[in-house]
């Protein structure tokens, strides 16, 4: 149920690859996922119908976490109890992960990129890993692959809840042998009360890492440092500080790309030269390489060859350059948390030091829609020269006092010498952005769209205009 979601669709493909007969229902069956499912021999049904579900007589119903009480199939399942049901994480643990060495990639930021990097590095080092990625990787055939059981399975470990009937984080189900903890901040305000609540679920994850496994931790992250003791397993710290086991050094970024060096406990590992921006992506690479290397050799991760990173292209919608001309760069980014936006804008400033940076933001995620991190968002936007703020998504569902106040943020940014404007609709934002860009374009300009959703299609519209 909910088969066309990125995670659900890829899970369906994995289960089909494992030999199960799979079919599914959803209310939004459209490409590209619908085409991928059809090619794999997975039948999909539009809408939810208890009579159809009863006629199909499935051995198991997998309920996606987008489903809730009131859904006709959910209510029928609960009323009749004819068929057993599971959450997505439960079925993955039972039918895919149970007999694998699992690398579970967790953190507030960088999960998708680090998961894709881990799978990519293992493939380039001669392994056939399984993987499940919550995005569209540009370097892998698709977002999921079963692989062979003797090689690791890499999975994106989301801290969001598992289902309406299981409010534990998904990653609690994923049987980690190697848990990668990229970073930890407050997010998902609809699920967690505060930062301490987020820390609690990450602590629960560390407690199920076996003693013959590893926790690969960002050693520069203060919130991760404050987690409870992890003495029952092996802890490998990664970061720029000298105290880390895996150290990132000699980082530099320019228009031509990024370079940095990795070492493991004083032993040189290799120099990386690649195109992914920012120190945050260098850390993603170091975390991924450490986890993949330990999966190959538990005593020395440096057996992993890093040279393939020079070819790595990344994941769609993660600092993806849509237009690249002398005077104009148009970039799409999945960023929806102030820290991610801050680091991305800092990286763009380093890469394009003479350009005017325009930040275009849609307050769409459950945390971005509310006031909790409003001040942090404002500090992030201040890294740009121009800020265009779209309307808060589903603003009518929020109490007035709890809404992210785009007008107030724009006003305060203007007082700091930035050009900032809040718009009542994304259509009006697009018209103003086009006028500012194509009427007055002089010098170099970098326009970056930040959204974890569709942004009402204005990103592709703007990019098409730029290419015309």
Read off the pLDDT of residues 67-100 as tens digits, 9 standing for 90 and up.
Answer: 999 999 999 999 999 999 999 999 999 999 999 9
Interatomic CA distance for residues 247 and 262, integer angstroms = 6
Together in a domain, 240 and 210? yes
* CB burial of residue 392 (10 Å; 0-12, 13-18, 19+): buried
Interatomic CA distance for residues 392 and 61, integer angstroms = 35
Together in a domain, 337 and 399? yes
Task: Name the nearest CA neighbour of 224 among 210, 248, 203.
Answer: 203
Is 317 in contact with 334 (CB distance < 8 Å)?
yes
Q: Which residues of 91-116 are buried (b: 16+ CB within 10 A; e: fewer)?
A: bbbebbbeebbbbbbbbbbbbbbbbb
Q: Under 8 Å CB-to-CB from 348, ≥6 apart: which residues?
A: 277, 331, 355, 357, 446, 448
| pLDDT confidence bin for 310, thresholds 50/70/90 | very high
446: left (phi over 0), alpha (psi -120 to 50) or beta: beta
Q: Residue 27: which domain range?
A: 6-89
Last-in-domain residue among 89, 111, 143: 89
The tally of CA atoms less than 13 A away on the side-chain side of residue 73 is 26
User: What is the bridge-based pairing of β-strands 267-274 and 166-169?
Assistant: unpaired
Together in a domain, 386 and 297? no
Is 245 in contact with 217 (CB distance < 8 Å)?
no
Is 5 in contact with 144 (CB distance < 8 Å)?
no
Together in a domain, 128 and 273? yes
Name the domain count of the chain: 3
Together in a domain, 306 and 381? no
Together in a domain, 256 and 188? yes
Last-in-domain residue among 286, 311, 336: 311
Position 458 scores a pLDDT of: 95
Interatomic CA distance for residues 3 and 16, integer angstroms = 13
The tally of CA atoms less than 13 A away on the side-chain side of residue 89 is 24
Q: What is the pLDDT of residues 146-177, one digit of tens each?
A: 999 999 999 999 998 999 999 999 999 999 99
Mean pLDDT of 297-311: 96
Position 441 scores a pLDDT of: 62
Is 315 in contact with 431 (CB distance < 8 Å)?
no
Q: What is the pLDDT of residues 176-233, one digit of tens each?
A: 999 999 999 888 878 888 999 999 999 999 999 999 999 999 999 999 988 868 889 9
């Amino acid at each position: 149920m909910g088969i066309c979601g990125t995670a659900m669709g890829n899970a369906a493909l994995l289960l089909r690859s494992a030999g199960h007969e799979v079919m599914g229902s959803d209310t939004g069956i459209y490409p590209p996922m619908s085409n991928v499912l059809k090619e794999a021999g997975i039948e999909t049904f539009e809408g939810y119908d208890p009579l159809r579900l009863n006629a199909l007589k499935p051995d198991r119903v997998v309920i996606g976490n987008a489903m809730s009480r009131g859904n006709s199939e959910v209510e029928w399942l609960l009323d009749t109890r004819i068929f057993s049901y599971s959450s997505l994480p439960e079925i993955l643990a039972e039918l895919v992960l149970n007999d694998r060495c699992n690398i579970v990639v967790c953190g507030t930021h960088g999960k998708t990129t680090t998961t894709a990097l881990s799978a990519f590095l293992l493939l380039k080092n001669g392994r056939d890993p399984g993987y499940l990625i919550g995005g569209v990787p540009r370097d892998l055939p698709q977002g999921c692959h079963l692989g062979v059981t003797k090689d690791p399975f890499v999975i994106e470990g989301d801290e969001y809840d598992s289902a309406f009937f299981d409010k534990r984080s998904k990653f609690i189900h994923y049987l980690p042998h190697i848990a990668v903890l990229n970073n930890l901040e407050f997010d998902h305000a609809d699920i967690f009360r505060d930062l301490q609540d987020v820390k609690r679920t990450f602590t629960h994850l560390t407690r199920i890492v076996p003693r013959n496994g590893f926790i690969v931790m960002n050693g520069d992250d203060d919130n991760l440092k404050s987690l409870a003791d992890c003495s029952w397993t092996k802890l490998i710290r990664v970061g720029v500080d000298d105290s880390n086991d895996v150290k990132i050094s000699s980082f530099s970024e320019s228009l031509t790309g990024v370079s940095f060096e990795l070492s493991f406990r004083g032993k040189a590992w290799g120099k990386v030269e690649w195109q992914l921006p920012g120190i945050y992506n260098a850390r993603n690479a170091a975390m991924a390489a450490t986890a993949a290397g330990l999966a190959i050799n538990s005593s020395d991760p440096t057996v992993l060859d890093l040279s393939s990173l020079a070819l790595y292209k990344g994941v769609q919608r993660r600092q993806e350059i849509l237009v690249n001309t002398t005077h104009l760069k148009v970039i799409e980014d999945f960023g929806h948390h102030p820290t991610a936006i801050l680091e991305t804008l800092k990286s763009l400033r380093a890469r394009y030091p003479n350009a005017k940076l325009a930040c275009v933001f849609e307050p769409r995620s459950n945390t971005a829609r509310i006031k909790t991190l409003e001040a942090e968002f404002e500090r992030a936007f201040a890294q740009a020269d121009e800020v265009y703020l779209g309307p808060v998504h589903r603003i009518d569902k929020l109490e007035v006092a709890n809404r992210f106040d785009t007008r107030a943020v724009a006003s305060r940014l203007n007082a700091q010498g930035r050009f900032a404007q809040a718009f009542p609709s994304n259509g009006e934002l697009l018209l103003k952005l086009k006028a500012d860009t194509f009427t007055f374009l002089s010098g170099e300009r970098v326009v970056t769209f930040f959204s974890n959703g569709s942004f009402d299609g204005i990103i592709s519209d703007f990019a098409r205009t730029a290419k015309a």
